[in-house]
Each structure stands twice: as C-alpha cells, then as structure tokens.
C-alpha cells in the first residue's frame, strides 16, 4: 500500500513538473515536445522500476535502478515545490504573464542545484553530535560513562558493507562504554546480509550493545530483520528492561509507530519500565512518541530516531506535524529526550539541509 501511494504521488508531481517545464522559454526553443514526453516516460519508468524491482531485488542492476529512481523522486519533489511556488505567486501565469515562464526556468535550475547539494550531503559521512546528560539516580562510579547511539542505518541494497565498515571505525574511535541501536538498522532487502550482520561483531563495548526494533524490521519477510539483529549479538529489548550495572537500567520498546498502526492498545512504555530495580533508567524507542508517559514512568533519558530530521526539505514540515520532537535535545518534565536524525538515509541518498549523525552521549551522575 505504501509503495502504491508513493508511486501515485510521485507520478502526479512529475506530471505537473513536466507540464510546467514545457512552458519555459529555453525548453520551448531547444527541446521538442516529443523529446520532452520521451524524457518524462523514461524517467518515470526508471523511478517505478527502482521502487518495484530495485527495492526488492539484488545485484548491480537493482542497486542502480533504486539509486537513480529514489534520487529522481527527491529531485521531482524539489522541482514540484519551486514550480508550485511560482504558480501560486503568479496565479498560474495569470499575473506577470511575460515573467512567469522565465521564473519557472529559474525554479527548475534552483531545484537542480539543490538536488546536487542534497546528494552530496547525503553521501557524506555522518557527523558526530556530542551531548552531556545528567542522569538522576546514576551511581557516582558510572559518572562519565560514554554511550554511542546509532539510528536508521537502513542497511540493504543502497547502504552496504563498505559504508558499514567505515561507520564501525567511526564508532570504535569514540571509545564507547555502551552502544545502542535505535531501529531501522536493516532495510530488509539487498545482498550480503550475513556479512553485514557479522561486521557488527567487531564492536565490543565493555557494557554491551543494546537495540530496539524499528518499523522496517517488521517489514522484512518472515521477521528476518529482527532475526538478523539477534544473530548480530545485540541485546534486543522488546518491551523489557535489563540492568547493565547496579543502578543503571536500559529499557526498550518495539517501534511505537508500527504498534499504533496495528491498532494495538497495549501500553508498551509502561511494560518496558515496570518493576525495575532502583537507579537511572534509559529508554530506547525508535519513534519519538509517548515521551510524556516515559517521563511519568521515571525514565531519565529517552533516545529515539525514525524522523531522519525530515531528511529532505521541505518534507521536514510534514514530518514535524506527526513528530513535533523531530531532532535534537528536549526536556520533557525533567526527562531528557534526544532524537537522532539518522545515521544513514531512507530512499534517496540525499539530505537537505543537515547531514546524518552518530550520537556520543556522556552520562553524568546528579
């Protein structure tokens, strides 16, 4: 259903983009109507093939199709945004009749420039974002504990072994005591899944690796995404807690957005934090939801991902409607909430405006 909706919306946006492109003076002078139609059909076919075959297939052809198709989708979104803005300002050409077609040309040029900038941003390594967090109940001997958080790597056909090896070197260089994985680690398709899983075993922080499921772990056939997380040796927290050290509890919930879409009424946050021993509690949740409940249940720190920080402007405005706490640090009734904007990318290998990130959080006793 999601794929059908995505293809439908992108098709409508592309039709609008090529309809307005045909009115640009430069295009009218140098590009025949037939060539424009052929270009529209070919790019649309690449996009659909990338979504249908590339997204679920393996091998170099699938990778190329998905890379081209998903990035084309993002470029269409940017072109649609600027062309629509021109039409709204000019009342679809009723005002500024002579200027409107030229403005559409500038809108296309600007969209193309931003698409290239977004691609460069999306392909660059994630940055390290550092936080110091005071954690109520943390024993004095654990003051200075370093936690590294990774989210939304979407390992699969577009983000593979080479990318992961570089991220593992980045993480090891941060000297973490604890590593947490905030879901959407595996995309559920692509080759070399066993090699990807084995690569995580290079990470051996003294206090362990803890993970929660994201929505994409549930999309993988037969629960293979969840099985891969278990096979990699992570401590997978599914609506439960574990005591890392006396006075430090790590809890985790299955993805709350997936849980809500299933119309499940179970209280996962309360279940994950129930009957825990005294001490500081950290809650891992893929989606930044139910944070007020987490604060009421005594979590001192909640770590989330899922939003990608919107990933590509102006899509971030839509994301914020669903997830007001979209990226960065927030204070919720005494609890610290940190939302990672994602270490990898979903779909387009693009980011606009901020790059991906790995979180390095130093815990302090207060």
Predicted confidence at residue 226, as pLDDT, reads 80
Using a 10 angstrom Cβ sphere, with 0-12 exposed, 13-18 middle and 19 or more buried, the burial of residue 358 is buried
Q: Which residue has the tokens 């993988």?
A: 220
Instruction: Report pTM.
Output: 0.91
Nearest-5° Cα angle at 185, 184 to 189: 90
d(CA 54, CA 61): 7
- Identify the pLDDT of residue 189: 57
CA 279, CA 160: separation in Å to the nearest integer? 38
pLDDT at 212 over 60: yes
| Mean pLDDT over each residue of the chain, to the nearest integer | 92
Point out the least confidently predicted range of 34-38, 77-81, 183-187, 205-209. Answer: 183-187
**Token pair of 286 as six digits:** 């893929």
pLDDT in tens, 244-254: 999 999 999 99
Name the DSSP letter for residue 140: G
Ranking 96-100, 116-120, 139-143, 231-235 by mean pLDDT, the lowest is 231-235
List, in order, residues 6 or more apart from 172 with CB less than 8 Å away.
202, 203
- pLDDT reading at 191 higher than 70: no
What is the Cα–Cα distance from 231 to 234, expressed in whole angstroms? Answer: 8
pLDDT digits (tens, 9 = 90+) for 124-154: 999 999 999 999 999 999 999 999 999 999 9
Question: At a CB cut-off of 8 Å and minimum separation 6, what does 258 contact?
Answer: 213, 215, 218
How much is the pLDDT for 188? 58
Phi, psi (degrees; rounded to nearest 5) at 176: -75, 145
């Amino acid at each position: 259903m999601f794929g059908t909706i995505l293809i439908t919306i992108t098709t409508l946006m592309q039709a609008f983009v090529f309809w307005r492109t045909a009115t640009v003076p430069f295009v009218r002078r140098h590009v025949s109507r037939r060539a424009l139609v052929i270009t529209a059909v070919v790019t649309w076919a690449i996009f659909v093939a990338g979504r249908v075959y590339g997204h679920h297939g393996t091998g170099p052809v699938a990778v190329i199709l998905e890379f081209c198709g998903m990035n084309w989708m993002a470029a269409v979104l940017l072109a649609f945004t600027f062309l629509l803005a021109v039409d709204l300002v000019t009342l679809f050409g009723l005002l500024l009749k002579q200027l409107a077609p030229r403005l559409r040309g500038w809108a296309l040029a600007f969209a193309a420039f931003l698409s290239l900038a977004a691609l460069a941003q999306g392909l660059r390594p994630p940055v390290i974002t550092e936080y110091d967090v005071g954690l109520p109940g943390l024993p004095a001997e654990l003051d200075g504990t370093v936690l590294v958080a990774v989210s939304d790597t979407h390992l699969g056909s577009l983000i593979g072994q080479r990318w992961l090896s570089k991220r593992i070197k980045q993480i090891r260089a941060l000297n973490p005591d604890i590593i947490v994985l905030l879901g959407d680690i595996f995309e559920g398709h692509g080759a070399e899944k066993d090699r990807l899983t084995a690569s995580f075993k290079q990470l051996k922080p003294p206090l362990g690796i803890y993970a929660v499921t994201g929505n994409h772990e549930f999309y993988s056939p037969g629960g293979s995404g969840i099985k891969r997380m278990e096979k990699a040796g992570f401590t997978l927290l599914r609506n439960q807690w574990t005591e890392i050290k006396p006075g430090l509890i790590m809890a985790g919930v299955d993805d709350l957005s997936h849980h809500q879409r299933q119309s499940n009424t179970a209280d996962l946050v309360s279940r994950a934090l129930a009957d825990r021993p005294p001490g500081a509690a950290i809650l891992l949740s893929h989606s930044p939801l139910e944070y007020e409940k987490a604060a009421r249940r005594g979590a001192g720190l909640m770590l989330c991902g899922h939003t990608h920080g919107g990933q590509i402007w102006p899509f971030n405005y839509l994301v914020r409607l669903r997830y007001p706490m979209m990226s960065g640090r927030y204070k919720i009734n005494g609890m610290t909430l940190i939302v990672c904007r994602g270490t990898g990318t979903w779909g387009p290998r693009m980011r606009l405006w901020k790059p991906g990130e790995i979180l390095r959080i130093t815990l302090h006793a207060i």
